[in-house]
Amino acid sequence: MNELMIDFFRGKTPKSEAEQLQYLRELLQSLTLFALWRAKFFDQAAFYGGTALRVLYQLDRYSEDLDFSLLKTAEFDFDKFGNTITRELHDWGFDVTFERKIKKSRTQIDPAFIKTNTYMQLLKVEVPENLIRGINRQASLKIKLEVDTIPPPDFNTEMKYVFNPVQFAVRAFTLPSLFAGKMHAVLCRKWKTRIKGRDWYDFTWYVSKYPKLNLKHLESRMRDSGDYNDSEPLSEKKFYKLICQRIEELDIAKAANDVQPFIDNTEVLDIWSKDFFRAAVEKIIFVKE
């Protein structure tokens, strides 16, 4: 195992087996992005979602998946990047497999998975064996990658730079466009019996640090998903009405329970209430990119 990888992992101070797994996941996520950069993937696609916030802007919650969008609608072949990813990770000392899952949804999300044996990879980064004794030796760590091959319009991108564990560049959605994607999830994700509190946590993170929202891209996303069919553009007034309705329907306790495993400081959830989220909405700044 390359000393650079060992040093990266030693810089972490995991307090539990779950944190060790998360740090391993984040290392593999970063090396996967590095492999995609070397393969010129970002000439045709951009990085977005929770892991983009974690890697590029130090979002203080863990994120599991790698989400990408093509810059324009096009045919996409994930397989040619799969070989690059597995070869690159192998060169760094990780034994992984790359698996396609053909699942063409209405929005044409192309999914794939990187899989590896959790226990063996933790040993390779020299985590003491006594600290991982409770981990199932047959368990797999899985990272999901998704590419939106028919992206809704009106988003903007920029090149961002990563310096750890190695130096590379990624094309990513700009923060106002990233915020629009998150508000689409807040407004339109179908809850069923499980509320994704991570959406609401990210929402408060945005308004605290980067409150500018690309309303036009949000409208395009909502029209694309069939959640906004009004003949008039999505105005600030209509947005406020929709988000306030969503807040009124929100089960605060279920939302907090969902996000707890992904954050270190769960005390920040004590302030969560419908009034708190309504106050957060007032912090949004609408921009045209």
- Give the Cβ contact number of residue 62 at 10 Å: 21
**Range with the lowest mean pLDDT among 9-23, 85-99, 101-115?**
9-23
* pLDDT reported for residue 3: 67
Cβ(85)–Cβ(112) below 8 Å: no
Q: Is the pLDDT of residue 20 over 90?
A: no
Burial 216-232 (b: 16+ CB within 10 A, else e): bbbbbbbebbeebeeee
Q: Is the pTM of this model over 0.85?
A: yes
- pLDDT-derived band of residue 132, with 50, 70 and 90 as boundaries? confident
Which residues have C-beta within 8 Å of that of residue 94, sequence separation ≥ 6?
28, 31, 116, 121, 124
**Range with the lowest mean pLDDT among 117-131, 207-221, 244-258?**
117-131
Each residue of 197-241: pLDDT tens digit? 999 999 999 999 999 999 999 999 999 999 999 999 999 999 999
Helix axes 17-38, 3-10, angle to 10 degrees: 140
Helix axes 175-188, 197-209, angle to 10 degrees: 150
* pLDDT reported for residue 202: 98
pLDDT, mean over the chain: 90
Mean pLDDT for the stretch of residues 30-45: 96
Q: Is the pLDDT of residue 19 over 70?
A: yes
* pLDDT reported for residue 160: 98
- pLDDT-derived band of residue 164, with 50, 70 and 90 as boundaries? confident
